A and B are shown apart, each in its own frame.
Chain A
Amino acid sequence: MVDIIKTVITRVLFLDFIKGLLVTLKYTLSRSITLKYPDHETWIPYERFRGEHKLHRNEDGRELCVACELCVAACPTDCITVVPMEDETGRRGINDRVAKVWEVNLVRCLYCGYCEDACPTTAVRLSRGFELACTDLDGTIREREALLTESPIPEHYEGGVVVKAKYIRKLIQIKPELWKQKDWWPAKPGRSKKR
């Protein structure tokens, strides 16, 4: 009996409709989750994100890679090719070796990060770059020169934010303050921001 009365009241006063309308009203007032990618806004992935490879240099500008080929051995898909050679000073020994060829096939790569773990000099790092689309299969193979372009060390900047696309264009010059344009998911108390 109570149920029937309840149903009648709900029907007569359109309570279900009002409930539904309130839900959509709540969404109307909430923030849009669409990004104006790629020309206005870009998403900076989280620190744990593993994207395109980058080779790094030390402070003096010398390549960190010593062509030890450990990454080649570690790679489960055999997508890295490293051919070692001496550097132009003519000296030999592990410190003087550099790679003549260092290329990675980004199509075969499964972004496991084993190469990064295996590398004794932290030369190869998986950056957070994810814009790998290309019109030609050749574009999926990254040569040493392309990999050596200057890029920030992944854990030196924060992720999980949306930034203005015009900043991301000059990724290297970014000052960390600028990354905090819009914090995407508000920080939970438990989640550490810094590694």
Chain B
Amino acid sequence: MPSIDTLIVVGVMLLKVLIIGGALFCAPLPLTWIERKLAGRIQQRLGPHRVGPFGLLQPLADMIKMFVKEDIVPAKADSFLFKLAPILAMAPIFAIFVVVPFGPDITIPFIDYKVSLYITDMNVGIIFVLAISGLAVYGLIFGGWASNSKYAMLGGMRSTAQMISYEVAMSFAAVGVVMMSGSLSLVDIVTSQSGGFLNWNILYLPVGPLWFVIFLIAGLAEMNRIPFDMPEDEGSLAAGYHVEYSAMRFAFLSLAEYVAMVSIAVLLVVFFLGGWDNPLGSLIPILDYVPPVFWFMGKVGAFIYFFMWLRFTIPRYRYDQLMTIGWKIMIPLSLANILATGMIKIYADYRITDVLEMVGLKLW
């Protein structure tokens, strides 16, 4: 019989897993609504507005539709892989959130129990994230391969090539983050950037903004969104790797896509925008009372909005352009940037606040 403390720890852990898992499962519902509304606004339409007030119940209606539709497995498909693919696409992306810190430790009032707002603080967090997110491509490849359809196959192949190319640049960007923050643990990365937006990695001049851009572009490619949504290029591949999927399996694939979007937004926030850090530091005292989780969610929301905005603004790249950007620009650039970051780290490891302090300016 384990001691009561162990049981509590396990219970709290399970609770956190349930909450995060549930939240991620439900996240696509509001996200699809927001995306469709935003698409409507940008194209001067109304977006969904029939079901419920402002069409808020539209995702629920869509979900019911997905549930009751027939689940078709093509006759010539490899049915085991075909059924496995949506799970394989989904699980790794959920697993990323195991190491993501949503906020600093909080103490529950009255019982004085300390709860950390992350499931684990892995000391190799970044490596875990990269390794796990790389697995997600198996879902796409298997889905494309097992469907036994030319379009799906091409979509799967494209996603493989794309993921491999951009995984490199993304990993380099992660290396840059590790260099800037000096830790592999996501919690330490966040705490190393605390104290206002001038301390954030994105403003670790001159290399920070470049790392941010590299990670952003690689992230966009990793999650298969416009402008890099080659695997599901409607114009040339019908719907790419999920062309044969229907009903709940299709829902799982699109769920995976939305959660991937959230995960990239979360990683960008953790790596470059200081995680739960209050942007203005303690410059404005009243902001200290805003719970840190709010800042975290706000930043993630802003990124999600940006991704959606981007989707309805720019067209998709051609396949060869995609590869050119990946191999000829991103990778050399990130290699050069690693060198630059190393140099700076050795000879001039200053954040903006340090420089300001040196000239006698103390903001907070």
Residues of A near any B CB (own CB < 8 A): 14, 17, 20-21, 23-25, 27-28, 30-34, 36
Contacts and interface: CB of A to CB of B under 8 A. Distances in A.
A127 B311 CA distance: 45
Given A17-B314, A32-B41, A34-B45, 14 more contacts: A20-B314, A21-B310, A21-B313, A24-B42, A24-B312, A27-B41, A27-B43, A27-B44, A28-B38, A28-B41, A32-B44, A34-B40, A34-B44, A36-B49
A27 B38 CA distance: 10
* 9 cross-chain pairs, A with B, having the tightest CB-CB distances, nearest first: A24-B313, A28-B41, A34-B46, A24-B42, A34-B45, A33-B44, A32-B46, A20-B313, A27-B42
A119 B40 CA distance: 47
26 contacts: A17-B313, A17-B314, A20-B314, A21-B309, A21-B310, A21-B313, A23-B313, A24-B312, A24-B313, A27-B42, A27-B44, A28-B41, A28-B42, A28-B309, A30-B44, A31-B44, A32-B41, A32-B45, A32-B46, A33-B44, A34-B40, A34-B44, A34-B45, A34-B46, A36-B46, A36-B49
Nearest to B45: A34
A47 B314 CA distance: 41
Nearest to B43: A27
A30 B38 CA distance: 12
Contacts of A34: 40, 44-46
Contacts of A28: 38, 41-42, 309
A25 B314 contact: no
A32 B312 CA distance: 16
B40 A32 contact: yes
Interface of B: 38, 40-46, 49, 213, 309-310, 312-314
Contacts of B49: 36
Nearest to B40: A32
Nearest to A16: B314
Contacts of A24: 42, 309, 312-313
A20 to B, nearest CB: 5
B120 to A, nearest CB: 36
Contacts of A20: 313-314
Nearest to A20: B313
Contacts of B312: 24
Contacts of A30: 44
Nearest to A19: B313
A28 to B, nearest CB: 5
A51 to B, nearest CB: 26
A110 B51 CA distance: 39
A25 B42 CA distance: 7
A31 B314 CA distance: 21
B311 to A, nearest CB: 10
Contacts of B41: 27-28, 32
Contacts of A32: 40-41, 44-46
Contacts of B314: 17, 20
A27 B43 CA distance: 7
A24 B311 CA distance: 10
A36 B45 CA distance: 10
Contacts of B313: 17, 20-21, 23-24
Contacts of A23: 313
Nearest to A26: B42
B170 to A, nearest CB: 19
Nearest to A40: B49
Contacts of B38: 28
B135 to A, nearest CB: 31
A31 to B, nearest CB: 8
Contacts of B43: 27
Contacts of A14: 213
Nearest to A29: B41
A48 B160 CA distance: 60
A33 B213 CA distance: 36
A24 B305 CA distance: 13
A25 B314 CA distance: 13
A32 B54 CA distance: 14
Contacts of B213: 14
A33 B41 CA distance: 10
B303 to A, nearest CB: 14
Nearest to B315: A20
A139 to B, nearest CB: 27
A33 to B, nearest CB: 5
A84 B45 CA distance: 51
Instruction: With a 10 A CB-CB cut-off, give which of A27, A31, A36 has the most chain B CB atoms.
Output: A27
Nearest to B41: A28
A145 to B, nearest CB: 37
A30 B44 CA distance: 7
